A = this chain, B = another copy of it.
Amino acid sequence: MTKLTLKDIAKHFSVSVSTVSKSLHDSHEISDGLKSKIRKYAKANHYKPNKIAQNLVNRSTKTIGVIIPNILNYFFVQVLYGIEKVANERGYSIISCISDHSLKKEAMTLDLLSSGAVDGLILSTVASEMQTNKHIGKILETVDNQIPLVMFDRVLDAIECDKVIVDDFQAGYKATKYLLDTGCTNIAIISPIHSTKIGRLRVDGYKQALSEKGFAFDDKLITPIEPKDDLEFILSFILNDKNIDGIMALDEITTVKAMGIIMARGYHVPNDIAIIGFTNGRLSKYVTPALTMVSQHGSYIGETCANRLIDRIENISSPGNFETKVVKTSLIVRESTRKLPMV
């Protein structure tokens, strides 16, 4: 059974396709008798207009593309959730693609989506600003000016577009300050994202908090790690070298793992070592002790992205004049840190 088209219906009633189209749109140009006959027939046979054809004439698809590095990361899932929510409210669908931390795959997806498949794009790029800069620059040039783009979290300064980013400097600052205020004096950072700008900003915030309290910054307290690294080995190194009493880990899973290892070695959390992590997901809340985390408000970020993008698409916001929205983080205090002293 092949799909029913306007032409089929037209033939069935020996009328023209325009008559059928108008009837289904309830145009006043068509007599009530014919109109209702046609509509009844269409309904009875489950006629549905071909979206593709409609898109072609309308030059719009009412869908937005989302490209994120990883769907197994809770932060991105939350963002996706937020995007989906407002996209849906405003009549758009989303087509979501995972770049899987691969520059090549991101480029492919970008290429695919920017050719009319979607009305706009939301992107958290996998490209850090290192050697790949020219590469990504070239890639994004294909998107640039062709289709509205909103970047979030992992953004590229070189690209001019709307952006929604996390105040990572302040996040690093707040977390560090909290540890300091609760009595920590030797705070180590474990960073699985050290090559990214985000990672650097958090460390900058850390430095700022340190210097405000008169502590010297010690380079050795920052440990970049790779996915393949043995965290246990690295941690033992850190713990033996200095008398650490606080740890900041820059993603959720690393935080949870680090706490596990630390406790297994006999330290008490938070009394011996306090821990703060980034990305407030499901894990942090249910782990024991529950982790104090920096929440980036992923869902809100997603909503903001989607709203801004759709505004652009529908030309509500004036063209050009790109804005960068900075979303503040919150510190969700739980049990992996000590209490603030009463004033």
A residues 81-103 with Cβ under 8 Å of B? 81, 84, 88, 93-98
A residues 258-297 with Cβ under 8 Å of B? 260, 281-283, 286-288
Is A305 positioned at the interface, with any CB of B under 8 Å from its CB? no
Is A52 positioned at the interface, with any CB of B under 8 Å from its CB? yes
List 6 A–B pairs whose Cβ atoms lie within 8 Å, in order of A's numbering: A46-B146, A48-B142, A51-B116, A84-B97, A84-B98, A94-B95
Of the candidate stretches A53-61, A208-216, A234-242, the one touching chain B is A53-61
Query: What size tier do the contact residues of chain A reach?
Result: 35 or more
A331 to chain B, nearest CB (A): 21
A29 to chain B, nearest CB (A): 24
How many copies are assembled? 2
A88 to chain B, nearest CB (A): 8
Of the candidate stretches A107-115, A122-130, A168-176, the one touching chain B is A107-115
A320 to chain B, nearest CB (A): 12
Is A9 positioned at the interface, with any CB of B under 8 Å from its CB? no
A106 to chain B, nearest CB (A): 12
The 9 closest A-B pairs by CB, nearest first: A95-B95, A48-B115, A50-B116, A288-B288, A51-B117, A51-B116, A256-B286, A51-B115, A52-B116
Q: Are B98 and A96 in contact (CB under 8 A)?
A: no
Is A1 positioned at the interface, with any CB of B under 8 Å from its CB? yes
**Further contacts, 11 of them, CB under 8 A, given A51-B115, A63-B117, A287-B288:** A46-B146, A48-B111, A51-B112, A51-B116, A52-B117, A53-B116, A63-B95, A81-B98, A88-B105, A95-B95, A95-B96
A90 to chain B, nearest CB (A): 14
A84-B98, A96-B96 given; A141·B286 CB < 8 A: no
Is A137 positioned at the interface, with any CB of B under 8 Å from its CB? no
**What chain B residues lie within 8 Å of A112 (beta carbons)?**
51, 93
The interface bits of chain A over 43-81 (1 if a CB of B lies within 8 angstroms of the residue's CB, else 0) are 000101111110110000101000000011000011011
**Complex Cα distance A190/B142, Å?**
53
Q: Are A142 and B46 in contact (CB under 8 A)?
A: yes
Is A3 positioned at the interface, with any CB of B under 8 Å from its CB? yes
Is A222 positioned at the interface, with any CB of B under 8 Å from its CB? no
**What chain B residues lie within 8 Å of A260 (beta carbons)?**
286
Is A231 positioned at the interface, with any CB of B under 8 Å from its CB? no
**Complex Cα distance A111/B22, Å?**
21
